[in-house]
Structure 1
Amino acid sequence: MTRPAPSWLAHISAGLGLSALLGVLCFHFPELLTSREFREVYTEGFARSLLLFGLVAAFVLGTVSILRGRDSPVALIGVGSAALAVMLGGATVHFDPIESTAFSLGLDWFVLSLFFSALVFIPIERMLAVRPMSPLREGWRTDLAYFFMGHVLVQFVLIAVTASTSTVAAFAAFPALKAAIQSWPAWVQFLLAVFVADMTQALLHRAYHRVPFLWRFHSVHHSSRKMDWLAGSRMHLVEIVLTRSTVLLPLVVLGFSADAINAYVILVGVQAVLAHANLRIDFGWLEYVLVTPRYHHWHHARRADYVDVNYAIHLPLVDMLMGTFRRPSRGTWPEEYGVMKLETVPEGFWRQAWMPLSRHRDS
């Protein structure tokens, strides 16, 4: 007997209802649940308007789904979460002036990033998919858990990365070189920063594939059997901290301006999602200039002849210099994704988080 397809309305209702509940909690405990750096990006009025939209939509879509008899338990999660959010104050919840704290969670960053990423990429992937598939595809809950942890712990990651890079950079000072780099226009610094960072990351990326201990962490990322905008979030926390620290270090040591580094960080966020997206767009000659979805999809291909190629995340030039550039025939895509030995990486967020720390497994 064929299992009926999951109800989009029910799952959207659940997603919006739970997000609205998290949003209300952010208003109640802003010092603990919201990131100071990210609070500067949006206004209170914007947050309240988005919260109101989420509450109304969760109620309406959940009710419709329940009346249709489609995934009623899931729809009840959306309606129930929205109702609880309203009881806790809803879009009119009051909050006191925000106190300064040493550490806080980025729950606001998670909610807003998830909402707008889904709003942009789900429709695009439906229209331009390499292989049509539901956003509720196999493994989506695991990837959503990684998305949640990566965003909620953003300040922890930032503190760990800043501490490690600052400590090392303190022993490597090149005043003349820093002054020269900072005298260049911001756009020149940005382009050079992208090249330096991408070369650093590609070298580390290759080490992830060749050093067994590092592969135990990186294999989690390659365990995704489906590729879409959410799949790129599947990264072990240890790999996130190690990669960001290693990539940021030369930028700090060489003295790139804060504007150039911030612009690079924005590029990383956009291209990391785009490179994994389920988009069949043919970029033609641009695939020799920028890393595109097809270019990076082949890095994830479950094929022995592609396990040591296409390490760059921004510039194919980096792979050309490393001798790891491979551009497959135009219009071709991998038949299958994942590690070569599927049994070496377990399924589920918590089992994958523990796996690299347990006994060694070759894959």
Structure 2
Amino acid sequence: MSRQRRSFFAYSSALLGLLSLMAVACFHFPELLTSKEFRAAYNEQFARHLLLVGLAAAFAMGTWAILRDRNKRIAMIGVGSATLAVLLGGTNVQFDAIGKTPYSLGLDWFVISLFFSALVFVPLEHYLGKRRISPLRPGWRTDVTYFFMSHMLVQFILILVTASTSTIAGLAAFPALKDAIQSLPVWAQFLIAVFVADLAQALLHRAYHNIPWLWRFHAVHHSSREMDWLAGSRIHIVEIVLTRSAVLLPLLILGFSTPAVNAYVILVGLQAVLAHANLGVRFGWLEYLLVLPRYHHWHHARHKDYLDVNYAIHLPLVDMLMGTFKLPPKQEDWPEEYGVMKLETVPRGILRQHLMPFQGGKKFDEYVD
């Protein structure tokens, strides 16, 4: 008997139903589950309207899948989760003023970010994708778990990064240089910050590839066998802390203004998703100005000629200065295969992948494929 084809409506219902249930939990426990920094980016009314849309879509898509007898168990997860969300108060959950807590999780950041990322990139990759791959490709559960972890732990990661950079930045302060930089317009500070941060990150990125013990952490990111908007989420937590520290440190030392740094952070989030996305659009000369999908895809290529190239995250100029810029001349040329050269060195699953760097280059029977 042939395997039943996965239903887009069933899985979408499950996703939206579970996200809706998480959103209701955020309304019940805002001090614990929502990030103070991210709450400033949206208001309560927006969150309630978004929850209503999620609930309605989960019920509609799940019911349609059940009536069509397509992945009914998955569809029932969506309908059941949405029903439980409504029983727990739905869009009518009331709460008092949000108090201060020493820490909080970023469940609201995960819910909203995943919802809008999927809403934008799933259709784009379907119609403009270079490769015909399903959003439910092998490894998607692992990558969603990475996405969940990095968003839920955002405040703790920021605490670790801040602790590792603030003292050094304070010791290396240059008041005259800070005053000169902050006297510039915000747009000029932003452009300089992008170049400085990209250069710092590219140097560390190259170290990841050339120092064996660092590579074991970075190999997790390169283990994705398909490239899409979600693949960029697969990053070991040690690498997240190291990379964000390396980027934040020069920005703190040089004294860029808060608006300039915030603008840079927004760019990082957008370009990280875009660079990994499965988009076969021809960008022409822009590929030499900005890091776009084809440029970064060649960095992830399972190809011996592209093992030490294209380290920049934002500006190909950085690779040109480092001597590591490389692109095939024809825009039709894309990698045929992605992943680490030695597949057996990276196991499946987020837990085993987090333990892998500490196991000294061990080979695994169940590895990424």
TM superposition score normalised by structure 1: 0.98
SS of residue in 2 equivalent to 1:104 = coil
Number of the residue aligned with 1:348:
349
Letter in 2 for 1:359: G
Using the TM superposition, give the Cα deviation of residue 359 of structure 1 relative to its aligned residue in structure 2, in angstroms. 3.1
Distance 1:271 1:333 in 2: 19
Distance 2:2 2:203 in 1: 46
1:97-108, aligned counterparts within 5 Å?
Answer: 97-108=97-108
Number of the residue aligned with 1:311:
311
Distance 2:301 2:361 in 1: 23
Number of the residue aligned with 1:19:
19
1:192-341, aligned counterparts within 5 Å?
Answer: 192-330=192-330, 331-341=332-342
Q: Describe the superposition over 1:257-284 as per-residue Cα deviations: whole angstroms up to 9, x where unpaired.
A: 1111111111110001000000011111
SS of residue in 2 equivalent to 1:54 = helix
Number of aligned residue pairs: give it. 363
Letter in 2 for 1:132: R
Distance 1:360 1:346 in 2: 11
Q: Is the 8 A contact 2:106 2:153 kept in 1?
A: yes
Distance 1:301 1:116 in 2: 28
Using the TM superposition, give the Cα deviation of residue 329 of structure 1 relative to its aligned residue in structure 2, in angstroms. 2.5
1:152-163, aligned counterparts within 5 Å?
Answer: 152-163=152-163
Q: Is the 8 A contact 1:17 1:82 kept in 2?
A: yes
Q: Describe the superposition over 1:151-207 as per-residue Cα deviations: whole angstroms up to 9, x where unpaired.
A: 111111111111211011111011111111111111111111111000000000000
Distance 2:363 2:285 in 1: 37
Using the TM superposition, give the Cα deviation of residue 327 of structure 1 relative to its aligned residue in structure 2, in angstroms. 1.4
Letter in 1 for 2:47: A
Letter in 2 for 1:325: F
TM superposition score normalised by structure 2: 0.96
Distance 2:363 2:313 in 1: 25
> Between the two proteins, what is the percent identity of the paired residues?
70
Pick closer, same or farther for the CA change 1:362–1:216 going to 2, 3 Å: farther
Q: Is the 8 A contact 2:346 2:363 kept in 1?
A: no
Using the TM superposition, give the Cα deviation of residue 362 of structure 1 relative to its aligned residue in structure 2, in angstroms. 8.2
Distance 1:270 1:196 in 2: 18
Distance 2:290 2:126 in 1: 23
Could you tell me which runs of 5 or more consecutive residues in structure 2 were left unpaired when the two chains were aligned.
365-369
SS of residue in 2 equivalent to 1:335 = coil
Letter in 2 for 1:60: A
SS of residue in 2 equivalent to 1:224 = coil
Q: Describe the superposition over 1:97-130 as per-residue Cα deviations: whole angstroms up to 9, x where unpaired.
A: 2110010000000000000011111111111111
Could you tell me which runs of 5 or more consecutive residues in structure 1 were left unpaired when the two chains were aligned.
none
Number of the residue aligned with 2:88:
88
Distance 1:125 1:360 in 2: 35
Letter in 1 for 2:347: P
Letter in 2 for 1:254: L
Number of the residue aligned with 1:357:
358
Letter in 2 for 1:256: F
Distance 1:216 1:2 in 2: 39
Number of the residue aligned with 2:177:
177
